[in-house]
Amino acid sequence: MSPIPDDLRQLYQEVILDHYKRPRNFGPLQGAHHTAEGYNPLCGDQVKVSVKLDGDRVADLHFEGAGCAISTASASLMTEAVKGKTVAEAEELFRKFHGLVSGKERAAATATDDQDLGKLEALIGVRDFPVRIKCATLAWHALRAALHGGDQVTTE
Ligand code: ZN
């Protein structure tokens, strides 16, 4: 794994802080079709993800809950990234995102994937802190549970 350049690290931290302080798509979602909650006992993060579908497309999604900066920023970034995507595209995005934060996939700066991770890359720093990977992926696990009809997930 190549180290993250300092200027990028700085930018990523600003993105995370911004989404932590002003989370997007935060709060209950009127008329949600699916809802699932996630809990990360290691850190105490709690998140509830609500999804509204239009066919197999995620028309809208919101999150609620309380957690650390990483889990909140990741949930916020996830809602922005997934909105408008199909369920299959959301799954693919999660696969790539998980690869990124777990250090199994390289930053998209070197990737040639057609689907750019965009701002989700801001969370790449957690790959250096394995315990934080659960914070970063909690909302995604909750999203998947919601899309697959479950209603509760835990990172354990
Ligand atoms: Zn956390």
As a whole number, mean pLDDT of residues 60-82 equals: 97
Ligand 1 center from residue 135 Cα (angstroms) = 4
Query: 98: buried, middle or exposed (CB in 10 Å: 19+, 13-18, 0-12)?
Result: middle
Q: Where are the domains of the chain?
A: 6-148
pTM attached to this predicted model: 0.89
46 has which bridge partners?
39, 66
Ligand 1 center from residue 132 Cα (angstroms) = 6
Ligand 1 center from residue 98 Cα (angstroms) = 16
- The stretches of 22-151 forming alpha helices (DSSP H) are 69-82, 87-101, 130-147
Picking from 6, 21, 144, the residue whose alpha carbon sits closest to that of residue 78 is: 144
Other CB atoms within a 10 A radius of the CB of residue 88 amount to 10
Domain 6-148 top-level CATH class = alpha beta
**For 4-56, what is each residue's pLDDT tens digit?**
888 888 999 999 999 999 999 999 999 999 999 999 999 999 999 999 999 99
Ligand 1 center from residue 112 Cα (angstroms) = 30
Residues with C-beta atoms within 5 A of ion ligand 1: 43, 45, 68, 71, 135
